Structure 1
Amino acid sequence: MKNTVSVSVPATTANMGPGFDCLGMALGLYNEIHMSLSPGRISIEVEGEGADDIERDERNIVWRAAQRLFQEIGRENPGLSITLVNRIPTARGLGSSAAAIVGGLVAANRLTGETLSREKILALATELEGHPDNVAPALLGGMVISVVAEGVVHYLKITPPKELKVVVAIPDFKLSTHAAREVLPKEVRLQDAIFNLSRTALLVGALCEKRLDLLSVASQDALHQPYRAPLVPGLTKVIEAANQAGALSVTLSGAGPTVIALTDGHNEGIAEAMHNSFREAGVTCRVKALQPAVDGTQIL
């Protein structure tokens, strides 16, 4: 067993519009997890995002992920010292919980001599998160299509076009995934299912073939964004403003409230439009220009 390990985990955006619970992409914004053996004790320090409210005991997600890995390989938790350096905002739709889960699993796996395969790490991460759309790109990088069938996570990684860039507008309020799921209907209309199926297929094809001109239509959604819009003040106007400023597509990032615009690199006007629209709705926000992250979780 190693005595200490450090890992870097990217933020992620899920759904990408129509790909509800099955599409996600890694983003160039990273949390670091520093984990070392600390026999008989638990020590957790948090720096950066979430430092005021992230648990520092057995409820901590990174600790729980490491504990799950030790359980899987048949070892007792040896006691850990964990330092989290967080840059991914929490409860904003940028995969902070997925980063914690994946980072905890990968770090613990490294500490114990790389006992589990990447596929097994993904399976455990999906078990802990409940769905693979964020944990898969956090682990693997790039854009990932993921499906759970009979308990097995099947996935396909796609490398996003090099010219594809990202602008995220991050409101200064939290929105839990649970609350965002509570507003969704239990059943959907056939025409809405067809709407999303066709656009999800077009979105994957457009990114594979570098047809960025198709992203505007391909990112449309009828299954979740219309129902979540009331939870994010100004969402409709933010999307309209970013589109008018030249964005290729504009959607909620995951469950929100972050709004993500895919661009061809001309970001300044888009960022300003998103920021101003949120401000007009009475919402302060941070705007970041990012790139898709080709690589997933890395050992530092």
Structure 2
Amino acid sequence: MIKVVVPATSANCCIGFDCMGLAIDWVGTFTFLHSEKLQIEGCPEEYRTEENLVVQAFREVCDALGKELPTFHLKIDSTIPFARGLGSSATCIVAGLMGANAWFNDPLSKEDLLILATKMEGHPDNVAPALFGGACVSKQFGKKVVSRQLPIKEWGGVVIVPDIEVSTKKARTVLPKEVSFQDAKDQVANALLMEVALCQGDEFLLRECSVDHLHEPYRSSLIDSYDRIRTCCRDLELPLWISGSGSTMIVLSNESEKIDQCVSLLGDLETRRFHVAKKGAYVLYE
């Protein structure tokens, strides 16, 4: 029996659009057992087919190795919400890739799997931290994908989950085709300062540089509670941004009293505490 444990992720980190992401300490667990036919449990009925994203990712490894897709029994145990900007698709992709790699005795490195994962996901911002943990900055160079972990301090916070799904596809339709030179210049400065803030544990700097010009001003219109959540966090001086394509929003802060106030003020919305997960996906053999 092969069990793959994959952390949830929060992509973009406000200013790192399509290139930066965090692993957070909620996990999905995916168990692969030998079976005479494909069986899937732990997901809605419509996903219990070969079109399941975990199975598709498993097939990617089979194709890369020149192997036939085996039959297996897949058990999914995950509390990561779907279409909320917490890397649910990346979790499934990484689980399928690592499960298949373990099935065939680990011929591929995590760097190899990152290339396959990026091919499936379209960008590395979610799949890299799911694989490696921590905060990752990644970029695709042709067929290569380069990802590096930042040596960040210990961070925690809270995610705020509005009761609305926002698909990545829909969230991309509202993005602009170009931005002003001034906005581009500010984005670069904010991105560089955020890396410093994360690595030095500087909450003031993190809050000041958490201003995005590429996606958040446009995607905010898709989240009904955005203005209310933004106002609450601004009043409490907490850094806040949209997680991935939304609808989840994330507060990254170690100021527990302020987070308690935030949770209390937004009491009608789902909130969940978290810590940044330093460990990425891993395999257990039982």
Q: What TM-score, normalized by structure 1, do the two folds share?
A: 0.91
Match of 1:81, SS? strand
Aligned length: 282
Corresponding residue of 1:200: 191
Equivalent residue runs for 1:114-133 within 5 Å? 114-133=106-125
Give the deviation of 1:230 after TM superposition.
1.1
Pair 1:144-2:124 in alignment: no
Corresponding residue of 2:58: 66
- Cα distance in structure 2, aligned partners of 1:153 and 1:30: 24
The CA deviation string for residues 188-236 of structure 1, in whole angstroms up to 9 with x for no partner, is 2211111211101110122122222200122110111111111001202
Any conservation in 2 of the 1:242–1:271 contact (CA below 8 Å)? no
- Cα distance in structure 2, aligned partners of 1:102 and 1:60: 13
Residue type matched to 1:184 in 2?
Answer: L
Match of 2:76, SS? strand
Any conservation in 2 of the 1:91–1:175 contact (CA below 8 Å)? yes
Q: What TM-score, normalized by structure 2, do the two folds share?
A: 0.95
Residue type matched to 1:18 in 2?
Answer: I
Residue type matched to 2:152 in 1?
Answer: P
- Cα distance in structure 2, aligned partners of 1:144 and 1:269: 30
Corresponding residue of 2:249: 259
Corresponding residue of 2:203: 212
- Cα distance in structure 2, aligned partners of 1:89 and 1:168: 12
Any conservation in 2 of the 1:246–1:270 contact (CA below 8 Å)? no
Any conservation in 1 of the 2:152–2:200 contact (CA below 8 Å)? no
Query: What is the alpha-carbon root mean square deviation over aligned residues?
Result: 1.3
Match of 2:47, SS? coil
Match of 2:27, SS? strand
Structure 2 unaligned regions, length at least 5: none
Corresponding residue of 1:30: 27
- Cα distance in structure 2, aligned partners of 1:246 and 1:121: 39
Structure 1 unaligned regions, length at least 5: 280-284
Give the deviation of 1:52 after TM superposition.
3.4
Percent same amino acid among aligned pairs?
36
The CA deviation string for residues 58-94 of structure 1, in whole angstroms up to 9 with x for no partner, is 1100000001111111100111210100110000000
Match of 2:69, SS? coil
Corresponding residue of 1:288: 272
- Cα distance in structure 1, aligned partners of 2:70 and 2:254: 48
Runs of 4+ residues deviating >3 angstroms: 51-54
